[in-house]
Chain A
Amino acid sequence: MNMTADAPLLAADGVPLAVKLKRAERRKKLRAALLVAPLAVFLLATFILPIALLLYRSVENPEVPAMLPKTVSALAGWQGQGLPDEAALGVFVQELTAAKDNKAMVGNAAKRLNMEISGYRSLLTKTVRAMPLDPAAGPLREQFVNIDERWAEADYWRVLRHQDSRYTGFYLQSSLDIKRGADDSLHMAGDDEAIYLKIFGRTLWMSAVVTLFCFLLGYPLAYWLVNLPTRKSNLLMIVVLLPFWTSVLVRVAAWIVLLQNEGLINGALMAMGFVDSPVQLAFNRIGVYIAMVHILLPFMILPVFSVMKAIPPTYMRAAVSLGSHPIPAFWKVYFPQTVAGVGAGALLVFIMSIGYYITPALLGGPDDQMVSYYVAFFTNNTVNWGMAAALGSLLLIATMALYTLYARIVGANRLSLG
């Protein structure tokens, strides 16, 4: 009998049972993987890949290294004073001449350099037009200064020397208001130029305010909906959801109509004699808050509602019948059970608010714009995709950091959509 103790168990066809089980398990796993494959591919193509590209774009710096690879390495030996030596200038001339017919390449490099010093664009295109230079016609240093006096300034060469890598922290630094000084040291931008840190702070603050108001308005409404008879609560639910199904743009436009100086609300206020002149409600912070809270309210109401729906009303009755005043009973018995829904709703509203663009753009003034506005500005107006990507990346990182923090405090497993 003891000889079977070490021998493997065999299935009917003589294959060890463990192997057979493993095979079956593998098949099952494969089938599961095949089932999720379409979704995985979809997510990869539409979500993960674009985000990876976005992060990559924010540090990519191909423009100048592509056009002047040898020049930037030749400039590495330059001392930072006066013009570079004739050999380096010779390389520069060669590469400028070679790039003469590739307008797109020159244009992109000129644009990149113009971000460092305004005016570099025309300096570079002008110099390319003057190519080729004849080395026999005199020292190249003089010829460059003859093309444009700016070549005599060390700053232009310093910026060029710094373009030696295909990767740069320039965009991310600029997005955090960090500038590079003449001695290559990093420092915070002055008051006139600093902008993005303030914008990030404003974005988070406005999102927090919107979340708070959504909670203050949404929570009682959800509570009321839960405690109404089903027929009435269904009807009211439709009223909550109806705007939810309408395009955001339409709703924002409707708010403009209502809130503007000659709009319905101001008209009514003036007709009833509450105010003499119109109250500024649109194109400022108030208008943005009103519209954003309105648009995002369903995202708070729905999770809170579904969590409340699952709470038996007997708990409250029990607390009251055991002698508690209804208010402490509500606070100590009912509210803690809704925290999961509130948490989920708040997180949804907050994260959606952070990325808001169209509502502040249409209903706000220049000092009500959030980060997305600047992403759009750099994408659409100045065609500076590095900056747009850098701002987007920082926004993504901030959102993820907040989510992690939030999950730590509230507990991710305690979030509930119902």
Chain B
Amino acid sequence: MKKMIQLAAVAAVASVFAGQAVARDLTVVSFGGANKEAQVAAFYQPFEKATGQKVVGVDYNGEVAKVKAMVEAGKVTWDVVEVESPEVLRGCEEGVYEKIDPKLIGGKAAFLPGTVSECGVGIFVWSTAIAYNADKLKTGPTSWADFWDVKKFPGKRGLRKGAKYTLEFALLADGVKPADVYKVLGTKAGVDRAFKKLDQLKANIQWWEAGAQPPQFLASGDVVMSSAYNGRIDAAQKEGKNLKIVWNGSIWDIDSWVIPKGSPNKEQALKFVQFASKPENQKTYSHKIAYGPTNKSAVGMIDPKVLPTLPTAPANLNGALGINVQFWVDHGEELEERFNAWAAK
């Protein structure tokens, strides 16, 4: 009976989409905004010029469920997708992504450690940090403790809606050392402690979901400070906005290319990943937006003026921590759900 229902449903859906399964352009999915603009200039356009293959860019906010749905339905319309690192591991374990041979991109050794895995190739290192509008705040915050201090800095704060990063920041604000954050968060008491700390700030939080929102919130004065992707703040600075980044207590992560399993454009997708991982193209990308390259040879090509703005600059790594991928693969769902319960109260 179940098989029959499924067959009927598949037939119904298939008849609707029949005739659409023709060759299409290479579809590359990214987080949009300033990040995508940089990708267009550094990857899409040069790739089109070099190969003649047209690239179509699609935006998303990290909803990898769509990829899974496509793969399970056998109707893959995304060819290359930019995902955050816990998603690389999780999706790879679930068999949602194609394996990528490291030889294709010049071997694992050519990249920063941990940026190339079975299914993913690191694109760039990015960071979530505190940002504030220096036109509105004469003396800015210097730590997450300041971020929580509504007496010293009255007004709303922006935070990314979700448990990831938010819980880490709460613990940092509560005085946990960066090195101990995941140890504390791994216990029930630690999670309770993080939510308790968030309770203190809750009334003053304005949540954001898309990376383009924090610079807008800061510029319009909706919030006095916000967590933000460092590249978006850098892009706003280039547009003349007087926004500042506080690197202390920032969390860095790596975004990677993955290829959904069963993509009809797999050959082209692999070529695209190969092309985008070349040092000269990664260099162009880092010059357009302040995210650090993963290809070791690209690191040396970066303009010395750009270097201090990247999350990988030694000064910026001071007091920063890297995201614990395994922790979020294991605890992500439970904590996101608890976060939802908390936020909805």
Which residues of A are at the interface with B, using a C-beta cutoff of 8 A? 45-46, 49-50, 52-53, 56, 102-104, 106-108, 110-111, 114-115, 118-119, 121-122, 125, 192-195, 198-199, 260-262, 283, 365-367, 369, 374, 377, 379-384
Contacts and interface: CB of A to CB of B under 8 A. Distances in A.
B285 interface: no
Contacts of A261: 220-222
Interface of B: 2, 5-6, 8-9, 12, 63-66, 68, 90, 93-96, 161, 192, 195, 206-207, 220-222, 326, 329-338, 340-345
A108 to B, nearest CB: 7
Contacts of B334: 114, 118
Contacts of A111: 94
B331 A118 contact: yes
A329 B6 CA distance: 59
Nearest to B345: A367
B9 A125 contact: no
A50 B9 contact: yes
B330 A106 contact: no
B333 A382 contact: yes
Given A106-B93, A107-B93, A382-B337, A49 B64 contact: no
29 contacts: A49-B12, A52-B5, A53-B5, A56-B5, A107-B93, A107-B96, A114-B333, A115-B333, A118-B330, A118-B331, A121-B90, A122-B326, A122-B329, A122-B330, A192-B195, A193-B341, A194-B341, A195-B340, A198-B345, A261-B221, A261-B222, A366-B344, A369-B344, A377-B340, A379-B65, A381-B336, A382-B333, A382-B337, A383-B64
B100 to A, nearest CB: 15
Contacts of B342: 192
B95 A103 contact: yes
Contact of B336 (A45, A49, A193, A382): A382
A51 B331 CA distance: 32
Given A49-B5, A384-B333, A108 B338 contact: no
A374 B341 CA distance: 10
B8 A49 contact: yes
B65 A107 contact: no
- Closest 8 interchain pairs by CB? A107-B94, A103-B95, A366-B343, A195-B341, A104-B95, A380-B63, A383-B65, A118-B334
Nearest to A118: B334
A224 B195 CA distance: 53
B65 A381 contact: yes
Contacts of B336: 381-382
Contacts of A125: 93
A161 B12 CA distance: 38
A366 B161 contact: yes
Nearest to A107: B94
Nearest to B68: A383
A411 to B, nearest CB: 36
Nearest to A117: B334
